[in-house]
Chain A
Amino acid sequence: NAGVTQTPKFQVLKTGQSMTLQCAQDMNHNSMYWYRQDPGMGLRLIYYSASEGTTDKGEVPNGYNVSRLNKREFSLRLESAAPSQTSVYFCAGARAQGWELFFGDGSRLTVL
């Protein structure tokens, strides 16, 4: 049982490049989330998907897009990366009513 799996774990981009962070869960979670974690800023919600087929903005959505491909997969796309998007990105899942978040191990992104 892998839980929540994120790929890649590390990525270096140049300003203006695009990339997609992948997240897959095998825990039958209905809702999925993308957070970013920066020093001194804590975890901030970028986008979430309450259920398959729906997505909504979180606290810091600018510069990102998401796709809930199916119940298992939730991807985060940076269309034109900026240095301000250098961060550690965490995907998480939860059952709709249980509220406990299960996190992946993070993807560390550096934008030069």
Chain B
Amino acid sequence: TQLLEQSPQFLSIQEGENLTVYCNSSSVFSSLQWYRQEPGEGPVLLVTVVTGGEVKKLKRLTFQFGDARKDSSLHITAAQPGDTGLYLCADSGGSNYKLTFGKGTLLTVNP
């Protein structure tokens, strides 16, 4: 069974700071997804990365996929209170239909 380890578990920072959160797998990722979940809502997809070494940018968010496809990071530049939420990574593990999630990083950005 694939295990996705996310770190740190909790992160509290001030507005304007930069931060990086990590997702590591016990096996090679098939197709890694990053989601953000705001309080009282369901997760929403941010990005999908597939190719080793891939870098994707979404405004102030930069997603990196490790060359060996066993790790990924999410870097946020100049964090804002609107970035507050639970950041989840997920992978199919080669399954056609089942997605396994990490436990997430709970980010709080204070004004």
Chain A interface residues toward B at CB < 8 A? 4, 31, 33, 35, 40-45, 48, 50, 56, 58-59, 90, 92, 96, 99-101, 103-106
B102–A50 CB distance below 8 A: no
**Which of A35, A42, A59, A99 is within 8 Å of B102, CB to CB?**
A42
| Chain B residue total in the interface (Cβ 8 A) | 22
Q: Which of A4, A40, A45 contacts B99 (CB 8 A)?
A: A45
Do A99 and B104 touch across chains, with their CB atoms under 8 A apart? Answer: no
> In the bound complex, do residue A106 and residue B33 qualify as a contact, i.e. CB atoms below 8 Å apart?
no
Decide if A105 touches B43 in the complex (CB within 8 Å).
no
**CB contact between A42 and one of B31, B88, B97, B98 (< 8 Å): that residue:** B88
Give complex CA distance A92, B88 in Å: 15
Which residues does chain B contribute within 8 Å of A106, judged by CB atoms?
Answer: 40-42
Apart from A33-B99, A40-B103, A43-B43, what are 10 other A-B pairs with CB-CB below 8 Å? A35-B101, A41-B103, A43-B101, A58-B98, A90-B42, A100-B45, A101-B43, A101-B45, A103-B41, A103-B43
Residues of A close to B44: CB separation below 8 A? 103
B21 to chain A, nearest CB (A): 14
What 1/0 flags go to B82-111 for Cβ under 8 Å of A? 000000101010001111111110000000
Listed by A's residue number, 24 A-B pairs whose Cβ atoms lie within 8 Å are A4-B42, A33-B99, A35-B101, A41-B103, A42-B102, A42-B103, A42-B104, A44-B101, A48-B98, A50-B96, A90-B43, A92-B42, A96-B96, A96-B97, A99-B31, A100-B33, A100-B45, A100-B48, A103-B43, A103-B44, A105-B42, A106-B40, A106-B41, A106-B42
